[in-house]
Structure formats: structure tokens, C-alpha cells
Amino acid sequence: MKAYEINEFGIENLTLIERDEPKPQANEVLVKFHAASLNYRDLMMVKGFYNPKLKTPLVPLSDGAGEVTSVGEAVTKWKIGDRVCPIFMQGWLDGEIDFSKARTALGGDLDGCLREFGAFDENGLVRIPDFLSFEEAATLPCAAVTAYNALFCSGSLKSDDTVLLQGTGGVSIFALQFASVYGARTIITSSSDEKLNRAKELGADDLINYKEREDWDKAVLDLTSKNGVDYVVEVGGAGTLQRSVNAVKMGGQVAVIGVLAGKGDFNPTAVLMKAVKLHGIFVGSRQMFEQMNLMICQHTLKPVIDKVYEFGEVKDALKHMESGSHFGKIVVKI
Ligand SMILES: NC(=O)c1ccc[n+]([C@@H]2O[C@H](COP(=O)([O-])OP(=O)(O)OC[C@H]3O[C@@H](n4cnc5c(N)ncnc54)[C@H](OP(=O)(O)O)[C@@H]3O)[C@@H](O)[C@H]2O)c1
């Protein structure tokens, strides 16, 4: 079968190789992948920024979707033809996360989805909603589950809450869609007015261009009668965290998710004085993924795909993500 491997860091060093097709063990299922999607983590992984000590060779990309083509003799949950996504952390099925569960992430600890076939424990998969294509389903395991966890598991979003979303990448657009169908008010920031207008079409209530308004935290306070928002989906990291804490209401929650905005100083005083809940998020469990899929089905929510690349165009897909010009998700056909 064909697979991509990281052997040396750098997009140009990604290699397309031939590997033996995996043979499923008794409790395993063989999945033929039809699509995979990119997350910012995958880009960092390929470039060597995520884990400079990464064990190689490694098949990158945590997220994929495909169909079951054979099952081990002890498998009871799946049959040939079932449409499935592997979960991000193969060992995190439910309950709280711990170190042993966290060390089972695809495209990092374990080989990921940028290959034609993969064998997975029968517990490490979820069923794809019928109305989603493989390309659409491949966007769910990391970005969508992370957004869902932030708002509904670590958080408990209510329909009269206000949510601040940063930028228009994968996690933020899923969070926008989820918060919007839930009836919450959404404020979204972006570097681009064009992207903000697209976000409006998806249901965003208030728009802030953070290139024009570097003090976007003040703009958020102005939009919320100086109270601040109930939730921030914080994907910038050190470069945005201070302003996120400024923009959240007293007792509000900042879901600490990403590192897109580089370096910055952080003074925790406002966290204490406003009793802000800073909640670190690491994707989510299988149970969260299944709960999320129920919500996706109930509202027939379609993931927003910026562009679908052919299998041979993976390097272009990664460069597209690196440019930051995308809106929502980037997908690779397999
Ligand atoms: N903790 C977890 O479990 C988890 C899970 C998934 C992702 N993440 C992290 O979350 C972050 C987002 O991931 P992703 O896959 O959604 O990324 P992505 O799709 O690549 O998002 C990129 C977009 O983020 C926006 N952005 C960049 N710098 C920004 C800034 N300074 N302020 C506001 N927005 C900015 C830009 O949108 P505009 O052009 O609209 O400004 C950019 O296009 C990454 O750091 C990723 O590693 C963490």
C-alpha cells in the first residue's frame, strides 16, 4: 500500500513509500482510508516543531475516514463496509484523560492516517454520520472534537451565552458552527474581512478584524456592555492569552487550546481578580466524539472544507495550511 512517512523534518522531506498492508489482529479492524484532513498539529509535526524527538519513520495526520475492509475474528462491533473514523487518542475512550491515554495519539505516538490502510483496535473507531462524505468525516476527529469538548464537556455552554472565537481555522469554525446551532451569541476575530463575511454567513453575530483592531479585547468588551464573554475558544496561545483573559467575563471560561500566535507575556493577575477558569483542552475522548456526532446529525451540520487535495498533492496541502489563507478545513483524498 502507499503511505507517506516523516523520516526527516520539513515539508519537502515527506516521503511517499510502499509498505505492507497491515493485517488485523483478532481484536482489530482493517480500515481502507478514503480521506484525511490536516490540523495545525500535523504541520508542526512534519516541520519538527511539535516534538523535535519524534520517533521516525512516522505516518503523519491524526484525522482520517474510511471503510472497514476486514475484521479480526474477535471483533464484534464492526462489519465489512462500515464507515468509520479512528479516534485521535486510541486509548481515550471515556472518562478523564491521563498520561497513558494521552500517549496513544495518531500521527504522533502512533502512525496516522496518511496511508491507504490502517489496522485499529475495534474500540478505537467511531461510526461516520450517514449524511457526511468521507472527505467531510475526515475533518472531525481532532478539530471538531476539540471544539465540542471546549464548549460542551469542559464547558457547559448555554443558549444565552456569548462565545469568542479566534481566527477562522479548523477548531474555530467548528466552534462557531456548534455555538451557533446551540443559539449562543458568537463573536469571531480574523485577519481578513473576507473571511469575516464568510463567518457571518455561517452564523457569526459580531465580527472583529484583529489586524485592524489590535486591541480586539477592548472591542469585545464594547460589544458586551463591558461585561466580557462567557467563553473564549483560545487558539492563539502566548500571543493572545492576555487579551483573551481581558475579554472574558468575571467567572468566565477560557478554553486553552492552541499556540498559533507565537510568543507573548502573561500576567495572571486578571485570572485571580476575575476568577477566570483557564481550562486546558487536549482534543477529547471517543465518548465526546460520539456525543458530538449526535449533535452533528441532529442539526445536519456540514463541516466547512476550504479545499480538497489529491493524495499526490500533500505537500501543497501542508503549504496551504502554512500560509494561513484557508477557512475551515483542508482535506486530502486517499
Ligand atoms: N489542544 C488541542 O487539543 C488542540 C486541538 C486542535 C488544535 N489545537 C491547536 O489549536 C490551534 C488551531 O488549530 P487549527 O488546526 O484550527 O489551526 P488552523 O486551521 O491552521 O487555523 C489557522 C487560522 O488561525 C487564525 N490565526 C492565526 N494566528 C492568529 C492569531 N494571532 N489570532 C487569531 N487567529 C489567528 C488564522 O485565521 P484568520 O486568517 O481568520 O485570522 C489562521 O488562518 C493550533 O495551535 C493547534 O495546534 C489544539
Mean pLDDT of the chain: 98
Strand partners, 164: 187, 232
Q: Kindly state whether residues 180 and 242 are assigned to the same domain.
A: yes
pLDDT value of residue 20: 96
How far is residue 142 from each of residues 45, 76, 97, 145, measured CA to CA in Å?
Answer: 14, 26, 15, 5
Q: Considering the domain boundaries, does residue 146 fall inside one?
A: no
Identify whether the C-beta of residue 146 lies closer than 8 Å to the C-beta of residue 257. yes
At 120, give phi and psi (nearest 5°): -130, 145
Q: Kindly state whether residues 164 and 273 are assigned to the same domain.
A: yes
Pure H helices in the chain: 40-47, 99-102, 134-137, 145-148, 170-181, 193-201, 216-223, 241-247, 269-273, 286-298, 314-323
pLDDT value of residue 16: 98
Identify whether the C-beta of residue 37 lies closer than 8 Å to the C-beta of residue 330. yes
Q: Kindly state whether residues 20 and 43 are assigned to the same domain.
A: yes
The band of 233, judged by pLDDT with boundaries at 50, 70 and 90, is very high
Please report where in the chains the cell 500533500 appears, as a residue: 314
**Cell matching residue 200:** 457571518
pLDDT at 59 over 90: yes
| Closest ligand 1 atom to 39 CA | 15
Q: Kindly state whether residues 10 and 127 are assigned to the same domain.
A: yes
The band of 250, judged by pLDDT with boundaries at 50, 70 and 90, is very high
pLDDT value of residue 262: 83
Q: Kindly state whether residues 236 and 199 are assigned to the same domain.
A: yes
Q: What is the pLDDT of residues 142-196, one digit of tens each?
A: 999 999 999 999 999 999 999 999 999 999 999 999 999 999 999 999 999 999 9
Q: Give the residue from 7, 16, 47 showing the smallest Cα distance to 318.
A: 47
Q: Kindly state whether residues 241 and 180 are assigned to the same domain.
A: yes
Residue 122 Cα, ligand 1 centroid: separation in angstroms? 31
Pocket test of ligand 1: the residue of 39, 61, 234, 256 to mutate, having most ligand atoms within 8 Å of its CB, is 39
Q: Considering the domain boundaries, does residue 290 fall inside one?
A: no
Q: Kindly state whether residues 187 and 77 are assigned to the same domain.
A: no
CATH number of 111's domain: 3.90.180.10
By residue range, what is the domain housing residue 89? 2-140+303-333
Q: Considering the domain boundaries, does residue 297 fall inside one?
A: no
Q: What is the pLDDT of residues 290-317, one digit of tens each?
A: 999 999 999 999 999 999 999 999 999 9
Q: Considering the domain boundaries, does residue 294 fall inside one?
A: no
Residues with CB under 6 A from ligand 1: 39-41, 142-143, 146, 166-171, 189-192, 195, 210, 235-236, 239-240, 257-261, 281-283, 321, 324, 326
Q: Kindly state whether residues 161 and 96 are assigned to the same domain.
A: no
Q: Considering the domain boundaries, does residue 293 fall inside one?
A: no
Q: Kindly state whether residues 197 and 266 are assigned to the same domain.
A: yes
Q: Kindly state whether residues 17 and 123 are assigned to the same domain.
A: yes
Domain count, the chain: 2
Q: Kindly state whether residues 208 and 85 are assigned to the same domain.
A: no
Q: Kindly state whether residues 18 and 89 are assigned to the same domain.
A: yes
- Distance of alpha carbon 41 from alpha carbon 160, whole angstroms: 32
Mean pLDDT confidence for 81-89: 98
Q: Considering the domain boundaries, does residue 285 fall inside one?
A: no
| Closest ligand 1 atom to 173 CA | 16
